[in-house]
Structure 1
Amino acid sequence: MALSDLRDNIENIIFDLDGTLWDPMPMSIKAWHTALNGFDCIKNPISEEDIQGILGMQHDLVGKKLFPYLSEKQQFDVMNSCYVQEVNDIKDFGGVLYHGLEETLKILGTKYDLYIVSNCQAGYIEAFYEYHGLGAYFKDFECSGNTGKSKTENVKMIIERNKLSKPIYIGDTLGDNTAANGNQIPFVFAKYGFGDVPNPVHIINKITDLKDLL
């Protein structure tokens, strides 16, 4: 279904972050390698495939998936170190913005209020804003690192907190689709990201496709 079919039925846009607005992989791989070098308990080097496999996962569940052989305390310590290093590296180096992102946000912002909901750790979105200078385009954000809640619950929180009418959610994973469905709002699948969604109703192949919403 064409994005233009949504045009007259939305007033607000909520975005996922990783795989939707930018590619964090080069930054994340570097940050995780730096952090994990400080732990003798890690059996195997972290790979790009490992990190891709946890993108979109609620941040406090990642340690159990990647390091099941560690105790809960060790998982917490390892993941906290990785998350702190990621935020610091974003502040210092940023990530790879998808081509045309800022231009698209500027255009969309003339008609819609924009928001972010991500499963990232606390401080991650703020660092993204700070390095790339994009904070002014978004009215509000939420993440699991702040609330300890699922993406479905955090999308609901953004909707209720800002009294949103007719929002849509744009993301690149099945979890994003689930969050949209859980709030009974339309979902737009960012096909260029890291995940897969079977039979999505609305698809974008690049971030600039969103200009069709105007």
Structure 2
Amino acid sequence: MDSIIFDLDGTLWDPRKTVVFAWNKVIENHDKVKKELTSQQLKETMGLQMHEIGRKLFPELEEKEREQFLNTCSEVEKEHLSEKGGNLYENVEEVLEDLAKKYKLFIVSNCQHGYIEAFYEYHRLEKHFIDYENPGRTGLSKGENIKLIIERNHLKQPVYVGDTDGDRKSAQDAGIPFVYARYGFGEASNYDYVIDSFDEMNELF
């Protein structure tokens, strides 16, 4: 193994408190969306691309209106994440620092452009990662973005770490082993390795 590609939400951090606050600020000023977003609702959408989240959470909006609404939510969300961050899982920074001495580290997340940058900006973890990708920049699926990272960085034996069955499928689509972060937001039916806390990455590798 020469490299580790990480999912973000549910794997490295839990951003729900900040994201829910930001989205509800937008909802307050919207004439058609009446119900506040809850942390549980957000959890159920983790791992989906933004357009899929929109259809699931805001079916009352027509497509164009939903797209505009989501764009506003995304901008407000990124501002808040840059200023307040999210909840890093225990010992994430220390473990990343150790792993970066042995492996090349990357992030591939199903997020909008600017989201990973906000994660970097607040938590100052960019120094541990070589590259990152998301559909907000490429328009590609997570599996295709994993392939892009592999090709762009000439990786030979990467693994992907994520917390949902969608992550498992994306790793499978990219043809690489999957490490299931069982402490995260979702469930995975099959996996090559499993961790129950981020600390276990050091034990596994």
**What TM-score, normalized to structure 1?**
0.93
1:186 to 158, 166, 177: 177
The aligned counterpart of 2:201 is 210
Runs of 5+ consecutive residues of structure 1 not aligned to the other structure: 1-9
**CA displacement 1:124-143 (0-9 Å, x = unmatched):** 10111011110010000001
Distance across 2 between alignment mates of 1:186 and 1:73? 38
Following superposition of structure 1 onto structure 2, how do residues 117-132 of structure 1 map, counting pairs within 5 Å?
117-132=108-123
1:140 and 2:131 aligned: yes
1:79 and 2:70 aligned: yes
Tell me how far 1:32 sits from its aligned partner.
1.1
- Structure 1 residue ranges (4+ consecutive) displaced by more than 4 angstroms after TM superposition: none
Tell me how far 1:25 sits from its aligned partner.
1.1
Following superposition of structure 1 onto structure 2, how do residues 61-80 of structure 1 map, counting pairs within 5 Å?
61-80=52-71
The aligned counterpart of 1:4 is none
Tell me how far 1:111 sits from its aligned partner.
0.5
The aligned counterpart of 2:103 is 112
Provide the alpha-carbon RMSD of the alignment.
Answer: 1.0
Distance across 1 between alignment mates of 2:65 and 2:102? 47
Distance across 2 between alignment mates of 1:199 and 1:114? 23
**CA displacement 1:162-185 (0-9 Å, x = unmatched):** 111100000001111011000110
Q: Secondary structure at the match of 1:64?
A: helix
Distance across 2 between alignment mates of 1:36 and 1:136? 35
Following superposition of structure 1 onto structure 2, how do residues 147-158 of structure 1 map, counting pairs within 5 Å?
147-158=138-149
Q: Secondary structure at the match of 2:36?
A: coil
Tell me how far 1:85 sits from its aligned partner.
1.1
Runs of 5+ consecutive residues of structure 2 not aligned to the other structure: none
Name the aligned partner's letter for residue 212 of structure 1. Answer: E
Give identity over the alignment, percent: 46
Q: Secondary structure at the match of 2:83?
A: helix
